[in-house]
Structure 1
Amino acid sequence: MRARTASLAALMVAASASAQVWRSDQGDGTFRNPVLYADYPDPDVIRVGQDYYMASTTFANVPGITILHSRDLVNWTIASHLANRLEGLPQYDLTGGTAYRKGLYASSLRHHRGTYYLANTPVGQKTRIWYARDVRGPWRFHELDREAFDPGLFIEPDGRAYLATASTADGTITLLTLDAALAHVTDARKIHYIKGAEGSKIIRRGAYYYMFNALPPRLALSVSRARSLFGPWETRDQIDDKTGGHQGALVDLPDGGWFGFVMEDSGAIGRMTNISPVFWQDDWPVWGTPAAPGRVPARAAKPIAGAPFAEPATSDGFTGRRLGLQWQWNHNPDPTRWSLAERPGWLRLRPTPAERFWTARNTLTQKGQGPASRAEVKLDIGHLTPGDRCGFGTLGQYSANLTVTRGNGRRAAVTMEVTEDSVDGARTEVRASATVPAGDTMWLRTDMDFTTDRGRVAYSMDGRRWTGLGGDFPLAFAWRTGTFQGEQFALFCYAPGASKGWVDIDSFRLSALTPAGRVRK
């Protein structure tokens, strides 16, 4: 036991040192964009005293809605999640189909008089106003009487609360007035129209209210201002994906300054968050600096000096009693089919009933990291039974996986297959397979290179000598297909019928791909 503990400690020290794939904080008082080189879409950022919190979309992943924390808008860690499970559709339990492009979308986060509030609208359901005294939860919610698309919550200092909502299909922005408990809509008025508008966010500065709207048809961001929430509003274009991003708003700094945050469509990795200094001209915010206005800088002075480097956790030795906050299930998990307690220091996955990877429950995911990253997992496959299909790879528009199987003998086989989810159904291609030497321990590896949008996989029987299988494969993102997220790392275990087997995962280790190890086109 003592040797096991020591080896785990050594692994985690090494993993921690190697996990850094991207560093926004340059260590010299500057930062570079993006602040997180991963898929954290639909950001909403608030300041509470000296602390900043960001809420980000998670779709059908569970737990839902990631909330991150920072002291300087540059160095972020995961603070909590909003919901432990998704409700309202049987598909969230992978019953009667999948729900990959449903779930929890764009949220609006606010804080008032010691309580955190978060508004979001589960796809196809009514809007919920969540509330908690601690950002780590527990969170409860009131459900409103209507569905407000991408609701933007705004609370006046005296407690009066409002929701702004608009959808691209219409562009009419409606302001909902809420009661004192933020539990009921008491009034609804159309206050403005912007063609293609959605994702409204409202702040106040001085005599003006400012409303930011994403314009997805143009991948642009607009800002409107008015002296009353009910208008009249005047509108100007701000920036777009060519100059920095298309969905976001502003957050204030303790010294009275302002910074902007915005989401940018970034290819296969998904949608990443950039931040930018903002200056004011004639009571209008201008992104960038007076020397380079109208664009998000690639590099700039940090908003707040002195905060230490931090990043969301990635590598994991599975030594805790709970899964790390970096992990999410592909849908609501079946708690009877996974455990951290049955074999302490290991994650055990028992096969869930499924015919194929895309419909398998209890697939454990973590965001792909850019610019280019490598993830290795160490498995104990000694208890796989015939029919079990367990392994590691990617989940996304293209899901490329190494699947380990075992027949009646002790020899195992590993297969590389690629599944593409398209608008007319998923297509799976078996690329290659190999019989591996006898043994219960196996390592699997997945590389994702977002500089070329290509990936590759390999296996090893000793953790040192690796064999690639199936060649490279595409990485991609499209909102109409796949998971509506950037490519994710995925651990899975399923079987077409009843199974008494399982797979144990000893560790997940993430590191940066060196230039020599990049996946070339």
Structure 2
Amino acid sequence: MNSEFYQNPILCADYSDPDIVRVGNDFFMVSSSFNHMPGLPVLHSTDLVHWQIINHAIPALNLPGYEYVQPGKGVWAPSLRVHDDRFWIFFSTPDEGIFMCHTADPWGEWSEPHCVVEAKGWIDPCPLWDDDGRAWLVHAFAQSRSGIKHQLQLFEMTPDGRSLLGEGKIIYDGTCDLPTLEGPKLYKRQGYYYIFAPAGGVESGWQSVLRARTMAGPWEVKNVLFQGQTAINGPHQGGWVELDNGECWFVHFQDAHLYGRVVHLQPMWWGDDGWPRIGEQRDDSGTGQPVLRWRRPAVGAEHYATCQPQTSDEFASGKYGLQWQWQARPRADWLVESASGLSLRCTPLPVRYGDGVLYGAAHLLLQKFPALRFSAMTRLSLQAEQDGDAGGLIIYGERYAALTLEKREDACWLVYLYGWMTDAGHVLQTRQPLEPLRASTCALRVEVKEGGICHFAWRENDEGEWRTVNRPFAAGKGKWVGAKVGLFAAAPGVNAGGVCRFSHFNVAD
């Protein structure tokens, strides 16, 4: 492809609800992390097209209950801002309230999340520090917790961002014209206050913009980005930045089903009427549709990058990279110290859904699907202490499958298992023993093809030809997230067992 142009999506991975800021020649992005920890991934770019993970703002979510898997809960729709020489993230957890953390160095340590307000169903917060020194916060509602939907509420906030002032005011009710109004991002430009907010729902919605001369309103609305004649469904919910040369850019997500919410970059500019124009303009109405290919942002060739979010991992010094997340608040005893390779302790599985069921296990170490098609391969050595100690390679969502190496009596067996969450909330899991191995070491591979069809394979001692499991698996998304790929080590009963050592994890197109 001509280097003067970029292709959407810029991140073909599940970075849901993105928000961005610019600081000089650097761009920073955050996204939702839900129940996965460490949480609140922080990404960095120098050209708005290529991104890498540089940090997580919260190593663990220290709230009651998050030592267990809480599908779909956790960190929702963060906002990222720079104020007073600090980076600020405001985020919500749907059952607990609105939180804030900050740092002077996005690569460094972030402050412990502070609860700005305890409230059920107050979601998607965004702050604004005004020119007069006053501070504001706007948020949306989750009907499942609050009983309220389609509305935005505004508060004045203390300048330190730690608490809200007075009573909130509903500044817009979108029940009639903006159903599922949520995800507000608050800005000020040339005497107007703007709220960029998605409406219409995740899978088929659009991007709306509200504006007013004062925070008190009245707020007028313009719908600025629809799917139009493109294949990019529901293009909405994100943030915009402006370059020194006046160029403006808008990032948003697209719901890609089992792949999660992938990130697109749209050209943006301001019309003479003071409304933003986003994407390719369809007519003179100021309504746009997403672009698939466009000229790159004019950041200067010296700032062009070729990086992508991390995927492969050699597990140097026995550590895992920033791309990995656990299913819940991690425990130190899930890992065993090692000089090289990743050593996971065989940890008992929860019994909520039945013995030996992987769904709901907190100690799965997972990362996002990095592309529509890819392969992942690892080499596993099982050092078992008891029958039933096992580990392997897993594709995880509300449908999941794993190719495992398991100690059974005097042999190590390859076992293929798959399971799924039923509409009634039950988990069904099927186990298929494949064959015993002569050794306790083997290579495991999964090839993810079009439509998320997964083909598992193995070779003993990482030698010889790959042997494929005869039944492929159709991956499925999780609760508000895309499917994930990763590693695990499990033990039967209630006592921890042996160790699974993974020497590497290689991802290829």
* TM-score, shorter chain, exceeding 0.5: yes
- Which residue in the other structure is 2:223 paired with? 237
Deviations 1:97-147 (A, max 9, x none): x31211111101100121111101123112112111111342223312333
Task: Tell me how far 1:290 sits from its aligned partner.
Answer: 5.3
Of 104, 113, 124, 2:95 maps to 124
- Which residue in the other structure is 2:352 paired with? none
Work out the CA distance in 2 between the residues paired with 1:305 and 1:235.
35
Q: Tell me if the contact between 1:265 and 1:271 (Cα under 8 Å) persists in the aligned partners.
A: yes
- Which residue in the other structure is 1:143 paired with? 115
Q: Tell me if the contact between 1:279 and 1:290 (Cα under 8 Å) persists in the aligned partners.
A: no
Work out the CA distance in 2 between the residues paired with 1:328 and 1:397.
17
The DSSP-based 3-state class of the residue aligned with 1:268 is helix
Q: Which moved more, 1:118-127 or 1:501-510?
A: 118-127
Q: Which moved more, 1:132-141 or 1:385-394?
A: 132-141
The DSSP-based 3-state class of the residue aligned with 1:381 is strand
Of 200, 207, 211, 2:195 maps to 211
- Which residue in the other structure is 1:202 paired with? 186
Q: Percent identity?
A: 28
Work out the CA distance in 2 between the residues paired with 1:336 and 1:469.
32
Deviations 1:191-218 (A, max 9, x none): 2222321110112221222111111435
- Which residue in the other structure is 2:275 paired with? 284
Task: Tell me how far 1:391 sits from its aligned partner.
Answer: 0.9
The DSSP-based 3-state class of the residue aligned with 2:197 is strand
- Which residue in the other structure is 1:515 paired with? none
- Superposition pairs for residues 434-453 of structure 1, below 5 Å? 434-449=434-449, 451-453=450-452
One-letter code aligned to 2:288 = G
- Superposition pairs for residues 368-407 of structure 1, below 5 Å? 368-383=369-384, 385-407=386-408
Q: Tell me if the contact between 1:29 and 1:305 (Cα under 8 Å) persists in the aligned partners.
A: no
- Superposition pairs for residues 333-344 of structure 1, below 5 Å? 333-339=330-336, 341=337, 343-344=338-339
Q: Tell me if the contact between 1:419 and 1:426 (Cα under 8 Å) persists in the aligned partners.
A: no
Of 496, 500, 503, 2:497 maps to 500
Q: Tell me if the contact between 1:316 and 1:509 (Cα under 8 Å) persists in the aligned partners.
A: yes
Q: 1:76 to 1:463 in 2, by over 3 A?
A: farther
Q: 1:421 to 1:216 in 2, by over 3 A?
A: farther
Work out the CA distance in 1 between the residues paired with 2:261 and 2:448.
16
The DSSP-based 3-state class of the residue aligned with 1:336 is helix
- Which residue in the other structure is 1:183 paired with? 162
- Which residue in the other structure is 1:364 paired with? 365
One-letter code aligned to 1:286 = R
Task: Tell me how far 1:166 sits from its aligned partner.
Answer: 1.7
Task: Tell me how far 1:66 sits from its aligned partner.
Answer: 0.7
Work out the CA distance in 1 between the residues paired with 2:132 and 2:401.
53
Q: Which moved more, 1:457-466 or 1:364-373?
A: 457-466
Of 341, 345, 363, 1:346 maps to 341
- Which residue in the other structure is 1:7 paired with? none
One-letter code aligned to 1:328 = Q
Count of residues paired in the alignment: 475
Deviations 1:216-236 (A, max 9, x none): 435221111111122111101
Q: 1:436 to 1:300 in 2, by over 3 A?
A: same
- Which residue in the other structure is 1:30 paired with? 5
Task: Tell me how far 1:313 sits from its aligned partner.
Answer: 1.3
The DSSP-based 3-state class of the residue aligned with 2:71 is coil
Work out the CA distance in 2 between the residues paired with 1:177 and 1:115.
20
Work out the CA distance in 1 between the residues paired with 2:150 and 2:130.
25
One-letter code aligned to 2:181 = A
Deviations 1:323-344 (A, max 9, x none): 21111111112211213x3x31
Q: 1:208 to 1:421 in 2, by over 3 A?
A: same
Q: Tell me if the contact between 2:414 and 2:437 (Cα under 8 Å) persists in the aligned partners.
A: no
Work out the CA distance in 2 between the residues paired with 1:146 and 1:511.
44
Q: Which moved more, 1:394-403 or 1:156-165?
A: 156-165
Q: 1:455 to 1:120 in 2, by over 3 A?
A: same
- Which residue in the other structure is 2:213 paired with? 227
Task: Tell me how far 1:308 sits from its aligned partner.
Answer: 2.1
Work out the CA distance in 2 between the residues paired with 1:489 and 1:373.
11
Work out the CA distance in 2 between the residues paired with 1:495 and 1:312.
32
Task: Tell me how far 1:464 sits from its aligned partner.
Answer: 4.6
One-letter code aligned to 2:434 = A
One-letter code aligned to 2:313 = D
Task: Tell me how far 1:30 sits from its aligned partner.
Answer: 0.8
Q: 1:159 to 1:404 in 2, by over 3 A?
A: farther
- Which residue in the other structure is 1:166 paired with? 140
Work out the CA distance in 1 between the residues paired with 2:444 and 2:130.
53
Work out the CA distance in 1 between the residues paired with 2:342 and 2:422.
32
Work out the CA distance in 1 between the residues paired with 2:329 and 2:463.
32
Task: Tell me how far 1:322 sits from its aligned partner.
Answer: 3.8
Q: 1:374 to 1:426 in 2, by over 3 A?
A: farther
- Superposition pairs for residues 300-311 of structure 1, below 5 Å? 300-303=294-297, 304-306=299-301, 307-311=304-308
- Which residue in the other structure is 2:83 paired with? 112
One-letter code aligned to 1:151 = P
The reply on whether 1:316 has 2:316 as its aligned counterpart is no
Task: Tell me how far 1:408 sits from its aligned partner.
Answer: 2.7
Q: 1:105 to 1:504 in 2, by over 3 A?
A: same
TM-score by length of 2: 0.89
Show structure 2 runs of 5+ residues with no match.
Answer: 144-148, 350-354
The DSSP-based 3-state class of the residue aligned with 1:362 is coil
Q: Tell me if the contact between 2:317 and 2:341 (Cα under 8 Å) persists in the aligned partners.
A: no
Deviations 1:387-421 (A, max 9, x none): 11211121112111112111231x21111111112
One-letter code aligned to 1:351 = C
Deviations 1:295-352 (A, max 9, x none): 111000111342121111111111146421111111112211213x3x3111111111
The DSSP-based 3-state class of the residue aligned with 1:365 is strand
- Which residue in the other structure is 1:156 paired with? 130
Q: 1:464 to 1:198 in 2, by over 3 A?
A: farther
One-letter code aligned to 2:420 = E
Q: 1:276 to 1:390 in 2, by over 3 A?
A: same
